Chain A
Amino acid sequence: MGELGAFIILALVTLLPAAAVVTSRNLVRAAMSLVPSFLGVAGLFVLLQAEFVAGIQILIYAGAIAVLILFVIMLTAGGTGTAVRQANEQRVVGGLAAAALTAALLALLLRTAWPLAAGSLPRANVAAVGSAFLTTFVLAFEISSVVLLVSLVGALVIARRER
């Protein structure tokens, strides 16, 4: 009962700002609405007892990515103009693409058998994630670190060239 109530509240916290993100004509308000949506998703992670992912979700998405998006909008010329057009002459094509995607996702959702096996969770989530990163998934972990490093160096090179 309590869990259902929490889920409904968190779903509303996630979905209502998400609707504002796509309908708001003001870019900064749209970007700002991402923050409560991200926080709602973090709450859903907590509900699934994935508290480490929830913490990372707040730190990375709400704390870093939302700030990055806001920065980009505020530093772009004309980015903070109050009224941005929501649609252009390609709205029919866009609508068709969206409908096709919705149909495909719905078909996938309805045809997947969702396994509901009872399992036991590790007591210390963080330690389990850490050891999985450095044992089973060490290759993927190292490759993604190298990719991040390369993109960091690339950003520096591009920024230096302007001098």
Chain B
Amino acid sequence: MSWLWEIFKATLAAVAVFTFLALVGAMLGVYLERKISGWIQSRLGPKHVGPQGILQTVADTVKLLQKENIVPTNADAITFNVAPLMAAVAGLLAWIIIPFGPIFGRVVIVRDINIGLLFFIAMASLIVIAILLGGWSSNNKYALLGGFRSASQMISYEIPLALAVLVPVMMAGTLSTVGIVEAQRGGWLGIGNWFIFGLPGNRWLLIPGALAFLVFFTAATAEVNRVPFDLPEAESELVAGYFSEYTGMRFALFQLGEYAEAFAMAALTTVLFLGGWHGPLLPGVVWFFTKMFALVFVLMWVRWTYPRLRLDQLLHLSWKGLVPLGFVLVLVTGWLLI
């Protein structure tokens, strides 16, 4: 009956990851976003529920749970109800391959699979379908336009994303996330061997490593539809984009999927370029979360600093900037590694 045990373990892991995401990803994410946006705009942000407003998101969640789920009259009801679930589940599944660091000598990860990065990118591409279907089934022109924009944007930016991932994969020689982090062990203060600084015996790789980090982080920002790439939900043009018609918990599920994906991208950037859990003195898990939240902070900082791009600027940046740069980086990395 080992397979029953496996199913039990998988269910347990799913519950654990989902709880973690709902707490850390969505709740803390929304709170941080509101606080940081407040500070950047010289406001206070949430202040009244709990100390420093820290329970504001809990109150908001309770409010969202109580709200009525409205299905628009001419909407395609089944598709309309399935789409937010798909977004949340795909965002959740991406976390399976994220290693958090060693606790009691064992690396905490749901499953270290040998196609880890391929799996991650595949899950990121599934969210496109959820957004497209959510936008279409709402039977609302703004939602449909938002869904189309999102799909075309995510497909355009998946290519530089995959190309930038190839650079650390070539340096480490594996697709497994644990293998990639292990390849960045050691060096000066535990920092020197991070892939953003190249390989110890081959410091010229610093150039493709650092540039691949930039390409990956830019493409990841676009992939999770955040400012300056948030055309799919541009408020001034499209009301709220693909989730205009969603209410209550279904809206919250889309938000959960979005935050889960944004946090997963920050975590994967840490794993690929910033040495995962490696660092001096402090325990590995602490380092991992420090790096991840630093990147999440950068995402939010950018969001509240830069204006939104136009659609043509967005496509130019991907097809004339990031995609050719990604190809050159793969070529240069291969040449330097030989």
Contacts and interface: CB of A to CB of B under 8 A. Distances in A.
Contacts of B122: 55, 58-59, 62-63
B113 A1 contact: no
Contacts of A28: 76, 79, 133, 136
B114 A126 contact: yes
Contacts of B128: 63, 67
Nearest to A5: B3
Contacts of B132: 67, 70-71, 74
A71 B144 CA distance: 11
Interface string A56-98: 1011001110110011001000001000000000000000000
A44 interface: no
A74 B115 contact: no
Contacts of A26: 76
A32 B79 contact: yes
B118 A62 contact: no
B199 interface: no
B136 A74 contact: yes
A58 B113 CA distance: 15
A59 B129 contact: no
Given A6-B3, A51-B113, A58-B123, 19 more contacts: A2-B2, A2-B3, A26-B76, A32-B133, A35-B126, A52-B115, A54-B115, A55-B115, A55-B122, A58-B126, A59-B118, A66-B129, A67-B128, A67-B132, A70-B132, A71-B148, A71-B151, A74-B144, A125-B115
Instruction: For the complex of A and B, list the 8 residue pairs with the smallest distance between their C-beta atoms, beginning with the closest.
Output: A2-B3, A63-B125, A55-B118, A58-B122, A59-B122, A55-B115, A51-B115, A55-B122
Interface of A: 1-3, 5-6, 26, 28-29, 32, 35, 51-52, 54-56, 58-59, 62-64, 66-67, 70-71, 74, 80, 124-126
